[in-house]
C-alpha cells in the first residue's frame, strides 16, 4: 500500500512541477491526482477492515472449537458413537408411488406404538406397523428373512 501512496505522491509532484500553460489541463490533472489519493486511502481502509475481519473470524472459530469440545466432548466419544451406528440395521422398502427406496430403522418393526413410515420424496405411506396384519406382512420375503436373522 505504501508503494501506491508513493506513486500517487510522485504523480502529484510531476503535475505540480510541470510547466503547463493551459490552466484547464492543470486543473484536470490535479483532480485526477486527488481522485487517485482518495482511491488509495479507500483501499487502505478496506485492507485494514479485512485484517480486522480475519482476526474476528479466527477468534470466533477458536470460540466455536472450544464450545464444540465442551458440548460434544473428545474425538474418542465421536468414535464410540460411530461404532454404535454400525450396529443399527435398516429395512429397505420401495415406495409404491414414486418407486424411491426408503430406509428405516428395523426397531420400528417391533415397536408396539403405531408408526407410519413415509417416503421423504413424495410423502406416501410406505410402511405401517399397526394394521392388524402385523408389521412383517408389509415386507418382501427377503426383508422378512433379514429381519428374522437379526433376532438370531
Where in the chain are the domains?
Answer: 2-77, 88-150
At residue 92, the 3 state secondary structure works out as: strand
Question: Rounded CA gap, 40 and 4, in Å?
Answer: 7
pLDDT, one tens digit per residue, over 81-124 is 555 555 678 889 999 999 999 998 888 888 788 888 899 989 89
pLDDT, one tens digit per residue, over 35-60 is 999 999 999 999 999 999 999 999 99
Amino acid at each position: 500500500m505504501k508503494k501506491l501512496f508513493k506513486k500517487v505522491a510522485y504523480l502529484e509532484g510531476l503535475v505540480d512541477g510541470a510547466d503547463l500553460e493551459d490552466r484547464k489541463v492543470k486543473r484536470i490533472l490535479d483532480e485526477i491526482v486527488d481522485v487517485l489519493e482518495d482511491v488509495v486511502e479507500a483501499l487502505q481502509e478496506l485492507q485494514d477492515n479485512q485484517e480486522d475481519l480475519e482476526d474476528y473470524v479466527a477468534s470466533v472459530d477458536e470460540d466455536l472449537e472450544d464450545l464444540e469440545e465442551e458440548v460434544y466432548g473428545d474425538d474418542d466419544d465421536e468414535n464410540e458413537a460411530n461404532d454404535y451406528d454400525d450396529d443399527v440395521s435398516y429395512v429397505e422398502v420401495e415406495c409404491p408411488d414414486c418407486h424411491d427406496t426408503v430406509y428405516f430403522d428395523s426397531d420400528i418393526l417391533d415397536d408396539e406404538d403405531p408408526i407410519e413410515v413415509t417416503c421423504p420424496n413424495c410423502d406416501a405411506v410406505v410402511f405401517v406397523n399397526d394394521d392388524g396384519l402385523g408389521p412383517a406382512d408389509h415386507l418382501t420375503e427377503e426383508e422378512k428373512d433379514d429381519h428374522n436373522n437379526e433376532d438370531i
